[in-house]
Structure 1
Amino acid sequence: MVFKVSKKIRAIQMNHTNAVDKVSTDAGSVLSVSERSIKLPTIKLPSLNGDVTQFRHFHNTFVSLVVNNEELEDIAMYYHFLSSLTGEERNVIAHLPVTRTNFKVAFDLVCNRYNNPRLVASAHLNKLLTLPAITKSCSGELLALLNEALSNVYALMALQLDVSLRGLITSQLLTERVEHSITTDSEDRLSSSSLPTFKETCAFLENKCKSLEIAKTTAPQRQGTTVNKQQNAPNTKQFGHSKQTYVATSTACVMCYQPHVLHKCSKFKQAMCSERKAVVMRNNLCHNCLKNDHRAS
Protein backbone atom coordinates (compact mmCIF):
# COMPACT_ATOMS: atom_id res chain seq x y z
CA MET A 1 0.00 0.00 0.00
CA VAL A 2 2.82 2.41 0.92
CA PHE A 3 4.66 1.50 -2.29
CA LYS A 4 1.62 2.38 -4.45
CA VAL A 5 1.21 5.75 -2.72
CA SER A 6 4.91 6.64 -3.24
CA LYS A 7 4.70 5.65 -6.90
CA LYS A 8 1.63 7.89 -7.41
CA ILE A 9 3.39 10.85 -5.71
CA ARG A 10 6.44 10.48 -8.03
CA ALA A 11 4.16 10.40 -11.08
CA ILE A 12 2.43 13.59 -9.95
CA GLN A 13 5.80 15.33 -9.41
CA MET A 14 7.04 14.27 -12.88
CA ASN A 15 3.91 15.59 -14.57
CA HIS A 16 4.28 18.92 -12.74
CA THR A 17 7.94 19.25 -13.83
CA ASN A 18 7.10 18.53 -17.49
CA ALA A 19 4.33 21.13 -17.39
CA VAL A 20 6.68 23.80 -15.99
CA ASP A 21 9.33 23.03 -18.67
CA LYS A 22 6.71 23.29 -21.41
CA VAL A 23 5.53 26.68 -20.14
CA SER A 24 9.14 27.96 -19.98
CA THR A 25 9.84 26.73 -23.52
CA ASP A 26 6.70 28.38 -24.87
CA ALA A 27 7.55 31.65 -23.13
CA GLY A 28 11.09 31.59 -24.60
CA SER A 29 9.71 30.98 -28.07
CA VAL A 30 7.35 33.93 -27.76
CA LEU A 31 10.20 36.13 -26.53
CA SER A 32 12.52 35.15 -29.39
CA VAL A 33 9.79 35.82 -31.94
CA SER A 34 9.16 39.21 -30.33
CA GLU A 35 12.86 40.06 -30.48
CA ARG A 36 13.09 39.09 -34.14
CA SER A 37 10.09 41.25 -34.98
CA ILE A 38 11.87 44.45 -33.79
CA LYS A 39 13.05 46.44 -36.83
CA LEU A 40 16.05 48.66 -36.17
CA PRO A 41 16.42 51.94 -38.11
CA THR A 42 18.67 51.87 -41.20
CA ILE A 43 22.18 53.19 -40.58
CA LYS A 44 23.11 55.77 -43.21
CA LEU A 45 26.58 55.50 -44.72
CA PRO A 46 28.89 58.34 -43.64
CA SER A 47 30.25 60.85 -46.13
CA LEU A 48 33.72 62.37 -46.43
CA ASN A 49 33.75 66.01 -47.52
CA GLY A 50 37.44 66.92 -47.34
CA ASP A 51 37.58 67.52 -43.57
CA VAL A 52 40.46 65.36 -42.32
CA THR A 53 39.20 65.64 -38.73
CA GLN A 54 36.19 63.48 -39.70
CA PHE A 55 38.19 60.78 -41.48
CA ARG A 56 38.51 58.35 -38.55
CA HIS A 57 34.76 58.36 -37.97
CA PHE A 58 34.20 57.80 -41.68
CA HIS A 59 36.79 55.01 -41.88
CA ASN A 60 35.56 53.06 -38.85
CA THR A 61 31.90 53.28 -39.85
CA PHE A 62 32.50 52.40 -43.51
CA VAL A 63 34.67 49.41 -42.62
CA SER A 64 32.04 48.07 -40.20
CA LEU A 65 29.06 48.51 -42.53
CA VAL A 66 30.58 47.84 -45.95
CA VAL A 67 34.07 46.35 -45.98
CA ASN A 68 33.29 43.70 -43.34
CA ASN A 69 29.96 42.81 -44.98
CA GLU A 70 30.54 39.36 -46.50
CA GLU A 71 27.39 39.60 -48.62
CA LEU A 72 28.73 42.55 -50.65
CA GLU A 73 31.02 42.08 -53.64
CA ASP A 74 33.98 44.37 -54.26
CA ILE A 75 32.30 46.22 -57.13
CA ALA A 76 29.32 47.04 -54.88
CA MET A 77 31.73 48.25 -52.18
CA TYR A 78 33.40 50.47 -54.77
CA TYR A 79 30.11 52.15 -55.71
CA HIS A 80 29.21 52.64 -52.03
CA PHE A 81 32.66 54.13 -51.51
CA LEU A 82 32.29 56.56 -54.42
CA SER A 83 28.87 57.69 -53.21
CA SER A 84 30.40 58.51 -49.81
CA LEU A 85 33.08 60.82 -51.25
CA THR A 86 31.58 64.27 -51.62
CA GLY A 87 34.67 66.52 -51.40
CA GLU A 88 38.09 66.96 -52.93
CA GLU A 89 39.15 63.45 -51.82
CA ARG A 90 37.25 62.12 -54.84
CA ASN A 91 40.00 63.62 -57.02
CA VAL A 92 42.51 61.22 -55.44
CA ILE A 93 40.90 58.26 -57.25
CA ALA A 94 39.41 60.08 -60.24
CA HIS A 95 41.83 58.35 -62.62
CA LEU A 96 40.95 54.81 -61.47
CA PRO A 97 38.42 52.77 -63.49
CA VAL A 98 35.51 51.46 -61.43
CA THR A 99 36.29 47.74 -61.41
CA ARG A 100 36.15 44.98 -58.84
CA THR A 101 39.94 44.76 -58.50
CA ASN A 102 40.37 48.52 -58.06
CA PHE A 103 38.25 48.87 -54.92
CA LYS A 104 41.09 48.01 -52.53
CA VAL A 105 43.46 50.26 -54.50
CA ALA A 106 41.06 53.21 -54.29
CA PHE A 107 40.30 52.62 -50.62
CA ASP A 108 44.01 52.44 -49.72
CA LEU A 109 44.80 55.61 -51.72
CA VAL A 110 42.22 57.66 -49.84
CA CYS A 111 43.24 56.16 -46.49
CA ASN A 112 46.92 56.89 -47.06
CA ARG A 113 46.06 60.47 -48.03
CA TYR A 114 43.79 61.35 -45.11
CA ASN A 115 44.70 58.91 -42.34
CA ASN A 116 47.70 61.03 -41.41
CA PRO A 117 48.10 61.83 -37.68
CA ARG A 118 50.20 64.89 -38.46
CA LEU A 119 47.64 66.27 -40.91
CA VAL A 120 44.74 65.54 -38.55
CA ALA A 121 46.54 67.14 -35.59
CA SER A 122 47.34 70.24 -37.65
CA ALA A 123 43.68 70.58 -38.68
CA HIS A 124 42.50 70.32 -35.06
CA LEU A 125 45.09 72.89 -33.98
CA ASN A 126 43.92 75.29 -36.69
CA LYS A 127 40.35 74.93 -35.44
CA LEU A 128 41.47 75.58 -31.87
CA LEU A 129 43.48 78.68 -32.77
CA THR A 130 40.76 80.15 -34.99
CA LEU A 131 37.82 79.83 -32.62
CA PRO A 132 35.41 82.76 -33.07
CA ALA A 133 35.37 85.49 -30.44
CA ILE A 134 32.30 85.86 -28.24
CA THR A 135 31.20 89.50 -28.48
CA LYS A 136 28.08 89.38 -26.29
CA SER A 137 26.84 87.63 -23.17
CA CYS A 138 24.98 84.71 -24.71
CA SER A 139 24.85 81.30 -23.09
CA GLY A 140 24.27 79.55 -26.43
CA GLU A 141 27.35 81.06 -28.11
CA LEU A 142 29.48 80.47 -25.03
CA LEU A 143 28.40 76.82 -24.85
CA ALA A 144 29.08 76.34 -28.56
CA LEU A 145 32.57 77.82 -28.12
CA LEU A 146 33.29 75.53 -25.17
CA ASN A 147 32.03 72.44 -27.01
CA GLU A 148 34.12 73.25 -30.09
CA ALA A 149 37.24 73.73 -28.00
CA LEU A 150 36.74 70.57 -25.95
CA SER A 151 35.95 68.42 -29.00
CA ASN A 152 39.21 69.44 -30.68
CA VAL A 153 41.25 68.99 -27.50
CA TYR A 154 39.83 65.50 -26.87
CA ALA A 155 40.37 64.61 -30.55
CA LEU A 156 44.03 65.57 -30.23
CA MET A 157 44.36 63.48 -27.07
CA ALA A 158 42.71 60.51 -28.82
CA LEU A 159 45.44 60.56 -31.49
CA GLN A 160 47.92 59.46 -28.77
CA LEU A 161 50.75 61.53 -30.21
CA ASP A 162 54.29 61.48 -28.88
CA VAL A 163 54.19 65.27 -28.51
CA SER A 164 52.38 66.93 -25.60
CA LEU A 165 49.36 69.11 -26.26
CA ARG A 166 51.17 72.12 -24.83
CA GLY A 167 54.12 71.51 -27.15
CA LEU A 168 51.81 71.22 -30.17
CA ILE A 169 50.05 74.52 -29.45
CA THR A 170 53.22 76.49 -28.72
CA SER A 171 54.95 75.13 -31.84
CA GLN A 172 51.92 76.02 -33.96
CA LEU A 173 51.75 79.55 -32.54
CA LEU A 174 55.45 80.07 -33.20
CA THR A 175 55.51 78.75 -36.78
CA GLU A 176 52.43 80.80 -37.73
CA ARG A 177 54.45 83.96 -37.06
CA VAL A 178 57.29 82.88 -39.35
CA GLU A 179 57.58 83.50 -43.10
CA HIS A 180 56.13 80.58 -45.07
CA SER A 181 59.28 79.67 -47.01
CA ILE A 182 61.19 79.21 -43.73
CA THR A 183 58.67 76.81 -42.27
CA THR A 184 58.60 74.90 -45.56
CA ASP A 185 62.22 73.85 -44.94
CA SER A 186 61.16 72.42 -41.59
CA GLU A 187 58.21 70.58 -43.14
CA ASP A 188 60.47 68.96 -45.75
CA ARG A 189 62.73 67.52 -43.05
CA LEU A 190 59.91 65.83 -41.16
CA SER A 191 58.19 62.61 -42.09
CA SER A 192 54.57 62.65 -43.17
CA SER A 193 53.36 61.40 -39.78
CA SER A 194 55.79 62.90 -37.21
CA LEU A 195 55.14 66.14 -35.34
CA PRO A 196 57.88 68.48 -34.10
CA THR A 197 58.18 69.25 -30.42
CA PHE A 198 58.53 72.83 -29.21
CA LYS A 199 62.20 72.19 -28.50
CA GLU A 200 62.78 70.91 -32.04
CA THR A 201 60.95 73.91 -33.51
CA CYS A 202 63.13 76.33 -31.53
CA ALA A 203 66.30 74.46 -32.53
CA PHE A 204 65.32 74.63 -36.20
CA LEU A 205 64.64 78.38 -36.04
CA GLU A 206 67.96 79.00 -34.29
CA ASN A 207 69.82 77.11 -37.02
CA LYS A 208 67.86 79.03 -39.66
CA CYS A 209 68.94 82.31 -38.03
CA LYS A 210 72.59 81.27 -38.21
CA SER A 211 72.22 80.27 -41.86
CA LEU A 212 70.63 83.60 -42.77
CA GLU A 213 73.33 85.55 -40.91
CA ILE A 214 76.10 83.64 -42.71
CA ALA A 215 74.42 84.16 -46.09
CA LYS A 216 74.10 87.89 -45.38
CA THR A 217 77.77 88.36 -44.46
CA THR A 218 79.09 86.38 -47.43
CA ALA A 219 76.94 88.14 -50.06
CA PRO A 220 78.80 90.77 -52.16
CA GLN A 221 78.29 94.26 -50.75
CA ARG A 222 77.88 95.78 -54.21
CA GLN A 223 75.12 93.42 -55.16
CA GLY A 224 73.27 94.16 -51.95
CA THR A 225 73.59 97.93 -52.50
CA THR A 226 72.26 97.65 -56.06
CA VAL A 227 69.27 95.61 -54.96
CA ASN A 228 68.45 98.06 -52.19
CA LYS A 229 68.60 101.02 -54.55
CA GLN A 230 66.31 99.30 -57.02
CA GLN A 231 63.80 98.38 -54.33
CA ASN A 232 63.80 101.74 -52.56
CA ALA A 233 63.92 104.06 -55.58
CA PRO A 234 60.52 105.78 -55.99
CA ASN A 235 58.94 106.58 -59.35
CA THR A 236 59.21 110.36 -59.84
CA LYS A 237 57.75 112.74 -62.38
CA GLN A 238 58.73 116.41 -62.64
CA PHE A 239 56.32 119.10 -63.79
CA GLY A 240 57.88 122.55 -64.17
CA HIS A 241 59.67 123.55 -60.97
CA SER A 242 57.76 121.17 -58.72
CA LYS A 243 58.54 117.51 -58.22
CA GLN A 244 55.89 114.93 -57.38
CA THR A 245 56.78 111.49 -56.09
CA TYR A 246 54.74 108.34 -56.70
CA VAL A 247 55.70 105.27 -54.68
CA ALA A 248 54.55 101.96 -56.17
CA THR A 249 53.00 99.70 -53.60
CA SER A 250 52.20 96.01 -53.82
CA THR A 251 50.38 93.58 -51.58
CA ALA A 252 52.19 90.36 -50.72
CA CYS A 253 50.27 87.10 -50.62
CA VAL A 254 49.59 86.02 -47.02
CA MET A 255 50.10 82.38 -48.01
CA CYS A 256 53.45 82.42 -49.86
CA TYR A 257 54.50 86.10 -49.49
CA GLN A 258 54.88 86.54 -53.24
CA PRO A 259 53.65 89.68 -55.09
CA HIS A 260 50.16 88.49 -56.03
CA VAL A 261 46.71 88.38 -54.52
CA LEU A 262 45.61 85.38 -52.48
CA HIS A 263 43.01 84.01 -54.89
CA LYS A 264 45.73 83.67 -57.56
CA CYS A 265 48.14 81.81 -55.26
CA SER A 266 48.78 78.26 -56.47
CA LYS A 267 49.80 77.12 -52.98
CA PHE A 268 46.51 78.44 -51.58
CA LYS A 269 44.53 76.65 -54.32
CA GLN A 270 46.29 73.34 -53.61
CA ALA A 271 45.76 73.59 -49.83
CA MET A 272 42.98 71.65 -48.13
CA CYS A 273 39.66 73.30 -47.23
CA SER A 274 40.50 73.44 -43.52
CA GLU A 275 43.90 75.03 -44.25
CA ARG A 276 42.40 77.64 -46.58
CA LYS A 277 39.75 78.50 -44.01
CA ALA A 278 42.40 78.87 -41.30
CA VAL A 279 44.43 81.27 -43.49
CA VAL A 280 41.35 83.42 -44.18
CA MET A 281 40.30 83.61 -40.53
CA ARG A 282 43.83 84.15 -39.22
CA ASN A 283 44.37 87.15 -41.52
CA ASN A 284 40.83 88.57 -41.08
CA LEU A 285 40.04 88.29 -44.78
CA CYS A 286 36.68 88.53 -46.47
CA HIS A 287 35.22 85.05 -47.07
CA ASN A 288 33.92 86.11 -50.49
CA CYS A 289 36.73 88.10 -52.19
CA LEU A 290 39.66 87.22 -49.85
CA LYS A 291 40.56 90.90 -49.29
CA ASN A 292 41.42 92.45 -45.95
CA ASP A 293 39.79 95.89 -46.30
CA HIS A 294 36.35 94.62 -45.28
CA ARG A 295 34.55 91.54 -43.96
CA ALA A 296 31.69 89.59 -45.51
CA SER A 297 28.39 90.39 -43.82
Structure 2
Amino acid sequence: KNWKPFIDLYNSLIHTNNSLSSVEKFQYLVSSLSPEPLQSIKSLQITKDNYEIAYNKLIKRYTNKRFLTSSCWSEIIDLPKCNNDSAEALRHLLNVILENLESLQILGLPVDHWDFVLFHIVVQKLHPNVIERFELQHCSSDIPSYIVLNEFLEKPCTAFEAIDLSVQKFNYKLNRGFKKNFSHPKDNSQRYSLLANVNTHKVFWPLCKKNHLIIKCPTFTQNSPRDR
Protein backbone atom coordinates (compact mmCIF):
# COMPACT_ATOMS: atom_id res chain seq x y z
CA LYS A 1 0.00 0.00 0.00
CA ASN A 2 3.02 2.27 0.34
CA TRP A 3 4.33 1.34 -3.07
CA LYS A 4 2.59 4.06 -5.11
CA PRO A 5 4.01 7.09 -3.25
CA PHE A 6 7.40 5.37 -3.02
CA ILE A 7 7.74 4.52 -6.71
CA ASP A 8 6.49 7.97 -7.79
CA LEU A 9 9.18 9.63 -5.69
CA TYR A 10 11.84 7.12 -6.74
CA ASN A 11 11.06 7.60 -10.43
CA SER A 12 11.22 11.37 -10.06
CA LEU A 13 14.52 11.48 -8.19
CA ILE A 14 16.40 8.37 -9.34
CA HIS A 15 14.96 6.30 -12.18
CA THR A 16 14.59 9.15 -14.68
CA ASN A 17 17.79 10.88 -13.57
CA ASN A 18 20.14 10.62 -16.57
CA SER A 19 23.14 11.77 -14.55
CA LEU A 20 23.12 8.47 -12.63
CA SER A 21 24.44 5.20 -14.01
CA SER A 22 22.37 2.01 -13.88
CA VAL A 23 24.63 0.64 -11.16
CA GLU A 24 24.13 3.78 -9.06
CA LYS A 25 20.36 3.56 -9.56
CA PHE A 26 20.44 -0.09 -8.51
CA GLN A 27 22.33 0.85 -5.35
CA TYR A 28 19.77 3.56 -4.53
CA LEU A 29 16.94 1.13 -5.18
CA VAL A 30 18.34 -1.57 -2.91
CA SER A 31 19.04 0.89 -0.09
CA SER A 32 15.48 2.28 -0.29
CA LEU A 33 13.50 -0.96 -0.13
CA SER A 34 11.92 -2.51 2.94
CA PRO A 35 12.71 -6.18 3.71
CA GLU A 36 9.80 -7.75 1.78
CA PRO A 37 10.40 -6.20 -1.67
CA LEU A 38 14.15 -6.39 -1.15
CA GLN A 39 13.84 -10.15 -0.72
CA SER A 40 12.29 -10.47 -4.18
CA ILE A 41 15.40 -9.06 -5.92
CA LYS A 42 18.00 -10.26 -3.44
CA SER A 43 19.37 -12.90 -5.82
CA LEU A 44 20.27 -10.29 -8.45
CA GLN A 45 23.79 -8.90 -8.38
CA ILE A 46 24.17 -5.13 -8.62
CA THR A 47 25.15 -4.76 -12.27
CA LYS A 48 24.14 -2.51 -15.15
CA ASP A 49 22.06 -5.20 -16.88
CA ASN A 50 20.35 -6.41 -13.71
CA TYR A 51 19.00 -2.97 -12.78
CA GLU A 52 16.21 -3.03 -15.36
CA ILE A 53 15.40 -6.64 -14.47
CA ALA A 54 15.07 -5.77 -10.77
CA TYR A 55 13.10 -2.60 -11.45
CA ASN A 56 10.61 -4.31 -13.77
CA LYS A 57 10.21 -7.21 -11.37
CA LEU A 58 9.19 -4.85 -8.60
CA ILE A 59 6.87 -2.89 -10.87
CA LYS A 60 5.14 -6.07 -12.01
CA ARG A 61 4.63 -7.30 -8.47
CA TYR A 62 3.60 -4.13 -6.71
CA THR A 63 1.32 -2.75 -9.40
CA ASN A 64 -0.58 -6.03 -9.31
CA LYS A 65 -4.01 -4.98 -8.00
CA ARG A 66 -4.89 -8.47 -6.92
CA PHE A 67 -1.77 -8.70 -4.78
CA LEU A 68 -2.25 -5.21 -3.32
CA THR A 69 -5.92 -5.66 -2.46
CA SER A 70 -5.25 -9.04 -0.87
CA SER A 71 -2.41 -7.56 1.17
CA CYS A 72 -4.55 -4.67 2.46
CA TRP A 73 -7.51 -6.90 3.29
CA SER A 74 -5.27 -9.39 5.09
CA GLU A 75 -3.94 -6.61 7.32
CA ILE A 76 -7.50 -5.89 8.45
CA ILE A 77 -8.53 -9.51 8.89
CA ASP A 78 -5.30 -10.52 10.63
CA LEU A 79 -5.40 -7.73 13.21
CA PRO A 80 -5.07 -9.29 16.67
CA LYS A 81 -7.88 -8.87 19.16
CA CYS A 82 -7.35 -6.00 21.61
CA ASN A 83 -6.13 -7.43 24.90
CA ASN A 84 -7.37 -4.39 26.83
CA ASP A 85 -9.85 -1.55 26.48
CA SER A 86 -7.35 1.30 26.55
CA ALA A 87 -7.55 4.27 24.22
CA GLU A 88 -4.09 3.41 22.84
CA ALA A 89 -5.27 -0.06 21.77
CA LEU A 90 -8.37 1.38 20.12
CA ARG A 91 -6.37 4.06 18.30
CA HIS A 92 -3.98 1.46 16.88
CA LEU A 93 -6.91 -0.66 15.71
CA LEU A 94 -8.67 2.27 14.04
CA ASN A 95 -5.49 3.54 12.38
CA VAL A 96 -4.69 0.17 10.78
CA ILE A 97 -8.25 -0.25 9.53
CA LEU A 98 -8.50 3.29 8.16
CA GLU A 99 -5.13 3.11 6.43
CA ASN A 100 -6.00 -0.11 4.62
CA LEU A 101 -9.54 0.97 3.75
CA GLU A 102 -8.17 4.12 2.14
CA SER A 103 -5.69 2.03 0.14
CA LEU A 104 -8.46 -0.32 -1.00
CA GLN A 105 -10.60 2.64 -2.02
CA ILE A 106 -7.72 4.07 -4.09
CA LEU A 107 -7.44 0.68 -5.79
CA GLY A 108 -11.07 1.03 -6.86
CA LEU A 109 -12.90 -1.22 -4.41
CA PRO A 110 -16.41 -0.17 -3.19
CA VAL A 111 -15.39 0.38 0.43
CA ASP A 112 -18.41 2.62 1.10
CA HIS A 113 -20.71 -0.39 0.64
CA TRP A 114 -18.97 -2.61 3.21
CA ASP A 115 -20.57 -1.07 6.28
CA PHE A 116 -22.23 -4.21 7.63
CA VAL A 117 -19.25 -6.47 6.88
CA LEU A 118 -16.77 -4.07 8.49
CA PHE A 119 -18.91 -3.78 11.61
CA HIS A 120 -18.75 -7.51 12.29
CA ILE A 121 -15.04 -7.75 11.50
CA VAL A 122 -14.13 -4.88 13.83
CA VAL A 123 -16.41 -6.00 16.68
CA GLN A 124 -14.56 -9.31 16.77
CA LYS A 125 -11.29 -7.41 17.35
CA LEU A 126 -12.58 -5.46 20.37
CA HIS A 127 -12.09 -6.16 24.06
CA PRO A 128 -15.29 -7.48 25.77
CA ASN A 129 -15.51 -4.36 27.95
CA VAL A 130 -15.67 -2.15 24.86
CA ILE A 131 -18.31 -4.35 23.22
CA GLU A 132 -20.41 -4.21 26.40
CA ARG A 133 -20.26 -0.40 26.52
CA PHE A 134 -21.21 -0.18 22.86
CA GLU A 135 -24.19 -2.53 23.25
CA LEU A 136 -25.44 -0.60 26.28
CA GLN A 137 -25.44 2.62 24.26
CA HIS A 138 -26.70 1.10 20.99
CA CYS A 139 -29.18 -1.62 21.92
CA SER A 140 -31.41 -0.98 18.89
CA SER A 141 -32.68 -3.88 16.78
CA ASP A 142 -31.60 -2.04 13.62
CA ILE A 143 -28.83 -3.46 11.43
CA PRO A 144 -25.55 -2.45 13.11
CA SER A 145 -23.41 0.11 11.32
CA TYR A 146 -19.62 0.38 11.14
CA ILE A 147 -19.95 4.16 10.89
CA VAL A 148 -21.75 4.26 14.27
CA LEU A 149 -19.20 1.88 15.78
CA ASN A 150 -16.30 3.94 14.46
CA GLU A 151 -17.75 7.13 15.95
CA PHE A 152 -18.20 5.35 19.29
CA LEU A 153 -14.58 4.16 19.28
CA GLU A 154 -13.23 7.55 18.25
CA LYS A 155 -14.64 9.31 21.33
CA PRO A 156 -12.37 7.75 23.99
CA CYS A 157 -9.40 8.07 21.63
CA THR A 158 -10.00 11.77 21.09
CA ALA A 159 -10.62 12.36 24.80
CA PHE A 160 -7.44 10.50 25.77
CA GLU A 161 -5.37 12.47 23.26
CA ALA A 162 -6.78 15.76 24.56
CA ILE A 163 -6.01 14.78 28.17
CA ASP A 164 -2.55 13.58 27.21
CA LEU A 165 -1.83 16.88 25.47
CA SER A 166 -3.01 18.84 28.52
CA VAL A 167 -0.79 16.75 30.80
CA GLN A 168 2.19 17.33 28.51
CA LYS A 169 1.59 21.10 28.56
CA PHE A 170 1.22 21.08 32.35
CA ASN A 171 4.42 19.07 32.79
CA TYR A 172 6.24 21.40 30.41
CA LYS A 173 5.19 24.48 32.38
CA LEU A 174 5.98 22.75 35.66
CA ASN A 175 9.44 21.77 34.46
CA ARG A 176 10.12 25.27 33.18
CA GLY A 177 9.10 26.76 36.51
CA PHE A 178 11.18 24.25 38.43
CA LYS A 179 14.26 24.89 36.32
CA LYS A 180 13.79 28.64 36.59
CA ASN A 181 13.47 28.61 40.37
CA PHE A 182 15.78 25.79 41.38
CA SER A 183 18.15 24.88 38.59
CA HIS A 184 19.63 28.37 38.59
CA PRO A 185 19.74 29.58 42.22
CA LYS A 186 19.91 33.25 42.84
CA ASP A 187 23.35 34.80 42.82
CA ASN A 188 24.49 35.25 46.41
CA SER A 189 27.39 37.47 45.47
CA GLN A 190 25.43 40.60 46.28
CA ARG A 191 24.43 39.23 49.70
CA TYR A 192 28.00 38.17 50.41
CA SER A 193 29.18 41.58 49.30
CA LEU A 194 26.85 43.30 51.72
CA LEU A 195 28.03 41.08 54.55
CA ALA A 196 31.60 41.77 53.65
CA ASN A 197 30.92 45.48 53.66
CA VAL A 198 29.38 45.19 57.11
CA ASN A 199 32.29 43.17 58.42
CA THR A 200 34.98 45.35 56.90
CA HIS A 201 33.36 48.72 57.46
CA LYS A 202 35.55 50.66 59.90
CA VAL A 203 33.91 52.27 62.92
CA PHE A 204 36.08 54.62 65.00
CA TRP A 205 34.75 55.17 68.50
CA PRO A 206 35.19 58.70 69.93
CA LEU A 207 36.58 57.46 73.27
CA CYS A 208 39.69 55.77 71.92
CA LYS A 209 39.67 56.60 68.20
CA LYS A 210 40.14 52.88 67.40
CA ASN A 211 38.28 50.48 65.12
CA HIS A 212 36.32 47.94 67.21
CA LEU A 213 32.94 47.26 68.74
CA ILE A 214 32.03 49.34 71.76
CA ILE A 215 31.94 46.31 74.05
CA LYS A 216 35.57 45.62 73.09
CA CYS A 217 36.71 49.15 73.86
CA PRO A 218 39.07 49.05 76.90
CA THR A 219 38.50 52.73 77.67
CA PHE A 220 34.75 52.15 77.75
CA THR A 221 34.87 48.98 79.83
CA GLN A 222 37.28 50.48 82.38
CA ASN A 223 34.89 53.30 83.18
CA SER A 224 32.45 53.02 86.02
CA PRO A 225 28.86 52.18 85.18
CA ARG A 226 27.87 55.76 85.83
CA ASP A 227 30.56 57.14 83.47
CA ARG A 228 29.59 54.64 80.74
TM-score clears 0.5: no
**TM-score bucket of the superposed structures, by smaller chain:** 0.3 to 0.5
Higher helix share: 2
Output the TM-score relative to the length of structure 2. 0.44
